[in-house]
Amino acid sequence: MSAVKNSERLTKAWYGVLVLLMALGGWAIIERIRVGLVATNLTSETTWGAWVAFYIFFVGLSVGTFLLSTMFYVFKIEHYEKIGRDALLVSIISMVVALCFILLDLGRMERFWHTFRYWNFTSMLAWEVRFYVIYIGLLIAELYLSMRQDLIRVAKGTGWQAALARFLTFGSTDLSEESKKRDHKWLKILGSIGIPIAIFGVLGGEGMLFAGVKARPFWNSGLLPVILVVSALVASIALLLVFYVIRTKLMGREVDKEMVKSLAGLLAFFLLIEAGMEFFEFFVGAYGLQDTELATIETIFQGPFSWLFWGIQIFLGVVVPLFIFFNPRLKESVNAITLAAILVVIGILGVRFNIVVPPLIVPVLQGLPWGYYYPSPVEWLSSLGIVAFGLFLYTVAIKALPIDTVEELREGK
């Protein structure tokens, strides 16, 4: 009984923290709407900041978690079955959070619908928005199909979860093997369609929004879209690992240590690739001896936010996790692996800030003023509020929907 009471207290405290952060974020968003972008520290020189960094972070998180789900639903790697639905859920919520961030960054937020009404065929952003719509639709359809059999089972019970399940399944009671095979077939079809859309349309297109800006040499690189894809996989594996371990422990179930170690190995592999790509991005940029790019690299390495690169992105995001993953004793500890995964997520967030802000600080022409940027209180609070909103959606969803299979819940796996 004491364990149940402790779990209830933790749940109430968790909801309390999220509601408080959402309330603070709501105030900041109202302030942003009331006074406009004056509430931020954005300037004519530094036109993008925290909201855009968070936007590309969460879009990458969405694509990465979706690609992980395809390991089970498309390629039938059954070792990752336990995180298949979780990956799809995180993918959907990450896109919702990403769109909230980019909406705040728009100068005229109320005109967001103009991109649908007025379609400029030569605009990468216009195409990107349409890919978003198709991608989100695919994610919702996949999550529904992956849960449908268990939703029907839940619908046979009582309570609000059962009522919700009956509504979502339209009263269906078909649990036949044929129905199950049909759901799996469509999951594979939708997942196969979604892979190129996610890589080339959503995340690759996002990379093109930066790489196509010739006035910013640091962005104008064919490697940048690839780095965004690989770092998205790194952040996604890390976050799903953290969510799985924490959620499993809070539910009093046994953590699948072998799956966690497998995910840690996958995470270490992609983290090494991402770090290598970052090295070559800087090396090639410096080797070109172009003044603006050299100034951007110098700003990242030695500027006011160099601590973000050396302390967060490199030390906490790469060095410490790799030490844990390759240490003979620590790599056997689920808690140590979870800590390493948390640090990786923080490190990738640092990568996103270093992609967005430093190139905008350096002037595009000699004689123009240098920029400077640090998020304002409104930017910080609104960002915390939106992230808390995403966590709130996730918490409610795992309570309302059979993200774990009914068999896993019964067996306490």
pLDDT at 383: 95
Residue 413 pLDDT:
47
Single out the residue of 49, 130, 53, 141 nearest to residue 92, CA to CA: 141
Nearest residue to 74 (alpha-carbon basis) of 189, 180, 177, 181:
189
Give yes or no for a contact between 381 and 375, defined as CB atoms under 8 angstroms apart: no
Closest CA to 247 of 66, 58, 404, 62: 404
- Spatial neighbors of 1 by CB under 8 A, at least 6 apart, are none
Could you write out the DSSP letters of every residue in 299-337? HHHHSTTHHIIIIIIIIIIIIHHHHHHH-TTGGG-HHHH
Token code pair at residue 187: 């999951």
Q: First and final CA of the chain: distance in angstroms? A: 20
- 75 backbone dihedrals φ, ψ, rounded to 5°: -100, 0
Nearest one of 59, 83, 89 to 266, comparing CA atoms? 83
pLDDT at 141: 93
Q: What is the pLDDT of residue 4?
A: 56
Question: How many helices (H) and strands (E) would you count in the chain?
Answer: 17, 0
Rounded to whole angstroms, how far apart are CA atoms 66 and 70? 7
Can you give the pLDDT at residue 380?
95
Q: How far apart are CA 405 and CA 8, in angstroms?
A: 22
Q: What is the pLDDT of residue 104?
A: 92
Q: What is the pLDDT along the chain (413 residues), one digit of tens a residue?
A: 455 566 678 888 889 999 999 999 999 999 999 998 889 988 888 888 999 999 999 999 999 899 888 877 776 676 677 788 888 999 999 999 999 999 999 888 888 888 888 888 777 788 888 899 999 999 999 999 998 888 888 888 888 888 888 888 888 887 888 888 888 889 889 989 988 998 888 887 777 777 777 777 777 777 788 888 889 889 999 999 998 898 888 777 888 888 889 899 999 999 999 999 888 888 887 887 777 888 888 888 988 888 999 999 999 999 999 999 999 999 999 999 999 999 999 999 998 998 888 888 888 777 788 888 889 999 999 999 999 999 999 999 988 888 876 444 444 44
Q: Under a CB-based contact definition with an 8 Å cutoff, are residues 216 and 226 in contact?
A: no
* Cα 305 to Cα 315: distance, rounded to the nearest angstrom: 14
Instruction: For residues 82 and 69, give the distance between their C-alpha atoms in angstroms, rounded to a whole number.
Output: 10
Q: How many whole angstroms separate alpha carbon 272 and alpha carbon 278?
A: 10
| Angle subtended by helix axes 124-155 and 204-211, to nearest 10 | 160
- CA–CA gap between residue 123 and residue 402 (Å, rounded): 40
Question: The pTM is what?
Answer: 0.89
Q: Which candidate, 181, 149, 189, places its Cα nearest to that of 401?
A: 149
Contacts of residue 132, Cβ cutoff 8 Å, sequence gap at least 6? 95, 99, 202
How far apart CA 245 and CA 402 sit, in angstroms, is: 17
- Helix intervals (H) in 36-123: 50-73, 84-105, 114-117
pLDDT score at 410: 44
Residue 10: burial class (beta carbons within 10 Å; 0-12, 13-18, 19+) = exposed
Phi, psi of 308 (to 5 degrees): -65, -35
Dihedral sign for Cα 223, 225, 228, 232, please: negative
Length of the chain: 413
Cα torsion through 100, 102, 106, 111, rounded to 10: -60
Contacts of 42 (CB under 8 A, 6+ apart): 48, 49, 373
Q: Which two tokens stand for residue 329?
A: 């004793």
- Distance between CA atoms of residues 125 and 210, nearest Å: 11
Query: By the 8 A CB rule, do 101 and 61 touch?
Result: no
User: For residues 165 and 167, what is the distance between their CA atoms, to the nearest angstrom?
Assistant: 5
